[in-house]
Amino acid sequence: MNHLFSFRYLRRSALNASLLVLLVLVSTQSFADDERYIKINRSIELFGRVYQEIINNYVDEIDPEKFMRAGVDGMLNALDPYTVYIDERGRDEVDLLTTGRYGGVGITIDIRNGAVTISSITEGYAAEKQGMMIGDRIVTVDDIDLKDLPLSDIRAMVRGEPGSKIDFTIERETRDELLTFTLVRESIRVRNVAYADFIDDGIVYIKLERFSRGSGGETRQTLRDLQRESLIDGVILDLRNNSGGLLDAAVEVTNIFVPRGSLIVSTRGRSSDSMRRYVASQEPLLPEVPLIVLINENSASASEILAGAVQDLDRGVLVGNRSFGKGLVQTVANLRSNSQLKITTSRYYTPSGRSIQTADYLGNAPKGLFAIDTDSLHTEFKTVAGRLVYEGKGIDPDTTVTKPEQSRYVGQLNRRGMIFRFATHVVHSKEYAGTKPAVDDDLLDRFYRFLVEKDFEYNGVGEDMIRDLREIAEKEHYSSEFLKDLSVLEAYIREDKEHAFERHRDEIKRELAIELASRYNGDRGKIEIELQSDVQFSAAIDLIKNEPLYRHQLTTVD
């Protein structure tokens, strides 16, 4: 069995597999309590009779498999959000984590402006080799029109057995005719380390995107390669937006940094098999080198295991924002028909003994379903050096640094895909002949004209407020003078909106530079541009260079 952590919810289906879930619950459970055994049998009998009665006698004909699936979904929805049924298509996501590979052509797709669009391409695989490009819009896959299909279904269509062929019909910017591609699926190796390099004198920056099979060895080898280049004086490990992966992988990566013999994490559940302690079994690679771990609200599960161990053992300083708060362990049980049940079987605890699971995870459960007192989770614990840490709310960083919020204007540009579309236009423009242009005033002016051509209209917060106020005024019969003044204010807001582009010019310039860097220099170039204005990264650099302050963070007891 594989212990998995949070990744996007996996789709579920199939009558036989759903029935098997019920049978497994009965046949494999050791019943010490006769009363409990009787309750389970009565419940299964009731479930079956209700199901059969509705299928046979409901006024409208019902699909038996879909109805059973709805029943299974109803049961699982009463539990935590990580206990899910996984159908055959969903197994690709499990395989990705457990093997570090999947069958595909090396593209990532999203919905942009209503079209299935290639948002990134993995170097070295079929899509890149055959000339597919970011921004290409996929019209058909194997002659199947993708219009109105769920994105999850389309992704499942693109993936498949390595060696199998797949046909695409593509729309491309500046091309009137449709393009066709016939690609052969390959075994795509997932990169855990998205970026690793020296970014300052002796300081290494590593961005770890996930904890799949092999991430420990990949991270260790990455550091060894960098050690051969130069002396490492400090490490910044970026776990922001890393939603987790395998428990074993989290332990392996943590083992690179913490002392041998240190408790990294422990798990506890109802069964004796779930009671485990994971201890660092190898010598750390950089035992004395200062370490900073970047976390944010999207750092979850396996990321929190690593961050919690580093904090509790006083091995490094956490910088950023409070983490997500997922302290539940899932076990994947194989059913049949290539389906699985991912079920929460235990909680994990950091070395100090704290659970970081957000306390309200059972918020959807019917009253009386569980016997748990979530208020008891808010307890103080201490690190090795005696610093206070807390449970039941994620992991608080040692140094909180909050990133500036994106402006409403730029947010609307991104939601409408305007920056993405303009970058696609630039890539295909004959003016630049395949050379990345400088993001200067001339390019920004071109972008503004592009927005005008595409009829982009910004909806400012002031407009929303005026509209709401006008509705209230008319409903409550405010005076005509008030409505007149409101119209004057409305005119001022419209006039000011014309200058929104100029007000946010610097932010637009940064976003456009990031998008163009991803087109011309891949993920590496994109990350390098992002770091230039990253306040959390800058705070980490300043802290790791200031040894007295760094040591103070690790030893000061509140």
Residue 45 confidence (pLDDT): 92
| Interval 288-319: pLDDT, tens | 999 999 999 999 999 999 999 999 999 999 99
Are 134 and 173 in a shared domain? yes
pLDDT interval class at 370 (50, 70, 90): low
SS3 152: helix
Per the DSSP assignment, residues forming a β-bridge with 317 are 292
What is the C-alpha separation between 412 and 397, in angstroms, rounded? 31
pLDDT above 70: percentage of residues in the chain: 89
Domain boundary, last residue among 401, 421, 442: 401
Give the DSSP letter string of 192-210.
SEEEEEEEETTEEEEEE--
Are 173 and 201 in a shared domain? no
Tell me the CA distances in angstroms from 302 to 10, 14, 34, 253, one per residue in order.
18, 30, 38, 10
> Within a domain: residue 538?
no
Structure tokens that stand for 373 in this block: 């007192």
Residue 375 confidence (pLDDT): 46
- Long-range contacts for 194-201 (Cβ within 8 Å, ≥24 apart)? 194/523, 194/527, 195/523, 195/524, 195/527, 195/528, 196/222, 196/223, 196/226, 197/226, 198/226, 198/229, 198/230, 199/236, 199/531, 199/541, 200/541, 200/545, 201/233
Structure tokens that stand for 502 in this block: 């100029």
Residue 297 confidence (pLDDT): 96
Quote the number of domains for the chain: 4
Per the DSSP assignment, residues forming a β-bridge with 438 are none
Are 203 and 337 in a shared domain? yes
Structure tokens that stand for 38 in this block: 């009787």
Average pLDDT of the segment spanning 54-59: 94
pLDDT interval class at 379 (50, 70, 90): confident
First-to-last C-alpha distance (Å) of the chain: 42
For the chain, count helices (H), then strands (E): 18, 22
Tell me the CA distances in angstroms from 293 to 308, 316, 335, 353, 386, one per residue in order.
10, 7, 39, 20, 20
Average pLDDT of the segment spanning 235-261: 96
| Interval 201-219: pLDDT, tens | 899 999 999 999 899 999 9
Residue 463 confidence (pLDDT): 75
Are 425 and 330 in a shared domain? no
Residue 246 is classified by DSSP as B
Of 141-145, 186-190, 363-367, the poorest mean pLDDT is in 363-367
486, 473 contact by CB (below 8 A): yes
pLDDT at residue 456 tops 70: yes
Strand-strand pairing, 388-390 and 380-382: antiparallel
> Within a domain: residue 440?
yes
Average pLDDT of the segment spanning 262-282: 93
Residue 10 confidence (pLDDT): 37
Instruction: Give the CA diameter of the chain.
Output: 79
Average pLDDT of the segment spanning 329-353: 88
Are 436 and 492 in a shared domain? yes
pLDDT above 90: percentage of residues in the chain: 62
Collect all residues with Cβ–Cβ distance below 8 Å to 37 and sequence separation of at least 6. 31
> Within a domain: residue 282?
yes
Torsion sign, CA atoms 295, 297, 302, 307 = positive
pLDDT at residue 555 tops 60: yes
> Within a domain: residue 556?
no
Residue 9 confidence (pLDDT): 34
Structure tokens that stand for 7 in this block: 């990744």
Are 249 and 176 in a shared domain? no
Average pLDDT of the segment spanning 154-168: 94
Average pLDDT of the segment spanning 104-111: 94
Structure tokens that stand for 521 in this block: 């220099």
Q: Which positions are annotated as active-site residues? A: 301, 312, 326
Torsion sign, CA atoms 77, 81, 82, 85 = positive
Residue 367 confidence (pLDDT): 59
> Within a domain: residue 276?
yes
pLDDT at residue 433 tops 80: no
Are 175 and 219 in a shared domain? no
| Interval 88-103: pLDDT, tens | 766 667 777 777 888 9
Collect all residues with Cβ–Cβ distance below 8 Å to 458 and sequence separation of at least 6. 409, 412, 497, 500
Q: What is the CATH number of the domain that holds 139?
A: 2.30.42.10
> Within a domain: residue 544?
no
Query: Pick the residue with more confidence: 174 or 276?
Result: 276
Residue 17 confidence (pLDDT): 43
Listed in order, strand segments (DSSP E) in 270-394 are 276-279, 291-295, 317-320, 328-334, 340-349, 380-382, 388-390
SS3 266: strand
Residue 1 confidence (pLDDT): 45
Are 111 and 63 in a shared domain? no
Are 482 and 451 in a shared domain? yes
Domain boundary, last residue among 28, 55, 85: 85
Residue 259 is classified by DSSP as P
Are 396 and 502 in a shared domain? no
392, 378 contact by CB (below 8 A): yes
Of 183-192, 366-375, 484-493, 533-542, the poorest mean pLDDT is in 366-375
Residue 375 is classified by DSSP as G
> How many CA atoms are closer than 13 Å to the CA of 327, on its beta-carbon side?
28
* Boundaries of domain holding 181: 101-189
SS3 string, 504-530, reads: CHHHHHHHHHHHHHHHHHHHHHHHHHH
pLDDT at residue 368 tops 90: no
> Within a domain: residue 352?
yes
Domain boundary, last residue among 166, 189, 212: 189
Are 267 and 205 in a shared domain? yes
Q: What is the CATH number of the domain that holds 331?
A: 3.90.226.10
Are 254 and 379 in a shared domain? yes
**CA dihedral angle for residue 224, residue 225, residue 229, residue 233, rounded to 10 degrees:** -40
504, 409 contact by CB (below 8 A): yes
Query: Pick the residue with more confidence: 351 or 485?
Result: 351
> Within a domain: residue 436?
yes
